[in-house]
Amino acid sequence: MTIQIGDRIPDMPLVIATGEGPKPTTTGDYFGGRKVALFAVPGAYTPTCSAKHLPSYVEKAADLRGKGVDEIACTSVNDAFVMSAWNKDQGSEDITMIADGNGQLAQALGLTMDGSQFGMGSVRSQRYSMIVNDGVVEQLNVEAPGEYRASSAETLLEQL
């Protein structure tokens, strides 16, 4: 079942990709007590993700924070080392990278897609964005397959 507005993010382990290596935490600790703009991409270094999706959040980070967002996070079914390298390459130090290497977060949220036709594996995250306030989903924007619009930073800014 796909997570909905008003639902709480399931309590589970998370891995934050940092320059010092993987940092384990939990969804409860990460999302608790703050407002997070979370967006998901099918894969680090993929064309739309690198050319449009992540850059929209890098460009609009100050605007999102100005609207009350405490943290901006990107998740993808990639390991922490890939997510950290992508973050460094994209100049996105304002974005926290959540490595979902086994796709457990994407599956728990009900927001998976099959990327095997592109050689990406059968479990990938759909492209989406959400506002999570103290662990509860306040906004949710899931893209149609092959689309990029609803999950942009600009869309979240309009919703805040």
Enumerate the active-site residues.
49
Q: Does residue 99 lie in a domain region?
A: yes
- What is the pLDDT at residue 74? 96
Is 68 among the domain residues?
yes
Q: Is 1 inside any structural domain?
A: no
Closest CA to 112 of 156, 145, 74, 83: 145
Output the domain CATH number for residue 41: 3.40.30.10
Query: Would you say residue 54 lies in a domain?
Result: yes
Domain membership flag for residue 113: yes
Helix (H, G, I), strand (E, B), or coil: what is residue 151? coil
Write out the residue range of the structural domain in which residue 128 sits.
34-159
What CA–CA distance (Å, rounded) separates 22 from 8? 25
Tokens for 13, please give them.
Answer: 């382990």
Stated as kind and residue range, the H or E segment containing 108 is helix 104-109
**What mean pLDDT do residues 94-109 have?**
94
Distances (CA, A) of 129 to 10, 22, 81: 16, 23, 22
* pLDDT tens track for 6-59: 999 999 999 999 988 999 999 999 999 999 999 999 888 877 777 788 999 999
Residue 95: the pLDDT is: 95
Whether residue 25 is contained in a domain is answered as no
What is the 8-class DSSP label of residue 52?
I
Beta-carbon contacts of residue 131 (< 8 Å; ≥ 6 apart):
35, 36, 37, 38, 69, 137, 138, 139, 156, 159, 160
Q: How far apart are CA 89 and CA 83, in angstroms?
A: 10
How far apart are alpha carbons 36 and 130 in whole angstroms? 8
**Interatomic CA distance for residues 34 and 68, integer angstroms:** 9
In angstroms, the CA 115 to CA 9 distance is 24
Tell me the average pLDDT of the chain.
Answer: 90
Total domains present in the chain: 1
pLDDT score recorded for residue 52:
82
Please tell me which residue, 127 or 113, carries the higher pLDDT value: 127
Residue 29 lies in a domain: no
CB 35 within 8 A of CB 131: yes
The Cα–Cα gap between 88 and 91 comes to: 5
In a domain, 98, yes or no: yes
